[in-house]
Amino acid sequence: MEIKISSPAYEGDPFYRGAVLRLPASRLELLDAMDIARIRKGEAMKISITDFNHLFLNKYADIEHADFEELNLLSRELHRNYGVDRGRYENAIAIYASEQKDGLLSCKDLINALFNMDRFDFYPGIYSLKTLGEHTLDEGLEALMGPIPDEVYPLLDLEKLGSYAKEQEGGVFTSSGYGVRCRSGWDEVYPGLRRERQEQEKPAMIAVYLENDKCMESGSKLWLELPCEKAEMERVRGVLRVQRPGDLQILKIRSQVPHLKYLIDTGEDLEKLNQLAKELAKLEPEELIKYKAVLEYLDEESLTEAIGLIERLDAYTVCPEHLSYGDCGRAYLQKQGIDCTDPAFLGFDFEAYGKRRCEEEGIILTSYGSITCVKEQVEEQIEKQTEASREEPTEDLGKGSEREEAESMDLRMGM
């Protein structure tokens, strides 16, 4: 299931797109989507479902104010019940919503509807009062209206007959057909969230799903949040029964910095990843957004480069207010005192104008805003980092092959 999150502050802005998030998603991925959507912690957030197969849920449920964890659960349940007929499911929630005072369901109701579909009859292909009247006529009117003389049938208005049947049955039309309740009641299989989620004062930067590929016993996989202390790393190695650093594999990675998932291959990068997480945790929210923007722009290819980038951030300027090239084009014109709401700009291509101006001034657009950099500062800082790495003393690890020496060092570091 795919959702779009957006800020009410930008409502009506033609250049604002919010952020799209594929569910189920982690809390870290939500935090990143909020940065892309320009939503700060504590600010209001609007949610809508965007993928075609589930668009109908927006009509029957209060998705806009839904709890993120329950949306995640709904997504998992819909995926688990993938074989369920969509028309029958929409039929069930449409009828149940019509029975509610405000006509809207909660995420809890949407989840429970999957377990209550047998309480509703569904007639696909019936989309109007006239086709419902035809169906009612074919099924026989006696059950609905009592005995009717044969000569009356040709005089019946099918649309009025459908309206009468719908009123008597309490039926509902959906995008897939017509439905009625056939059995009373509603099973509350899922009781809803029972506890308030306690937000971490400083949320994790990265979460990794680890496996010991040399130990295939049950329980040989687990999630580890980074940054973490050496003792926690040792505990994880013990739980996974890791004998050698190369045995530890990273199966999945979730992060507030999405580009990092392209830099990880095996568990041998775990120490560097933890080092990076510690550095990222020191950044203020604005600095973290800046880091993500620059990392997206530079498309760094290694963890070493990603760590070194933190020291070079001062050479870049990021403007989160710039939403798109069209927004940049509008901003350029407004700086010159031009009223862009004037009817003369109705057909103006702000996107093309903004892109051309950005290229002229060396401005790069990312998901998090626009970037400008001072080339001389970047080159100077890279040179300093290169010199520092050359001056670092190399430690004599003793006898044995280079691989054995590296593994020994990793073990001492808590891999």
The tens digit of pLDDT for each residue in 343-360 reads: 989 889 999 999 999 999
pLDDT > 70 in the chain, percent: 82
Angle CA 377–380–384, to nearest 5 = 135
DSSP string for residues in 222-279 = EEEEES--HHHHHHHHHHTT-SSGGGEEEEEEEESSGGGGGS--SGGGHHHHHHHHHH
pLDDT score at 196:
56
pLDDT at residue 408 tops 90? no
pLDDT band at 65 (very low <50, low <70, confident <90, very high): confident
Model-wide pTM > 0.85: no
pLDDT score at 75:
93
pLDDT at residue 276 tops 70? yes
What does the alpha-carbon distance between residue 198 and residue 193 come to, in Å, rounded to a whole number? 13
How much is the mean pLDDT over the chain? 83
pLDDT score at 238:
85
Q: In what order do the strands lie in the sheet with 2-6?
A: 19-22, 2-6, 46-49
Average pLDDT estimate for 303-321: 90
**Contacts (Cβ under 8 Å, ≥6 apart) of 367:** 36, 292, 293, 296
Instruction: Give the least confident one: 2-6, 73-77, 141-145.
Output: 141-145
Average pLDDT estimate for 383-388: 56
Angle CA 349–355–357, to nearest 5 = 100
pLDDT score at 397:
35
pLDDT at residue 40 tops 50? yes
Instruction: Give the least confident one: 56-65, 154-163, 249-258, 270-279.
Output: 154-163
Domain locations in the chain as residue ranges? 86-95+103-192
SS3 372: strand
Angle CA 348–350–353, to nearest 5 = 105
Comparison of pLDDT for 294 and 213, the residue scoring more:
294
pLDDT score at 198:
56
pLDDT score at 390:
55
Report which DSSP code applies to 155: G
pLDDT score at 245:
65
pLDDT > 90 in the chain, percent: 49
What does the alpha-carbon distance between residue 94 and residue 103 come to, in Å, rounded to a whole number? 9
pLDDT at residue 407 tops 60? no
Taking the CB of residue 259, how many other CB atoms lie within 10 A of it?
Answer: 16
pLDDT score at 271:
85
SS3 108: helix
pLDDT band at 42 (very low <50, low <70, confident <90, very high): confident
Specify the residue for token string 């890791």: 242
pLDDT at residue 375 tops 70? no
pLDDT at residue 258 tops 50? yes
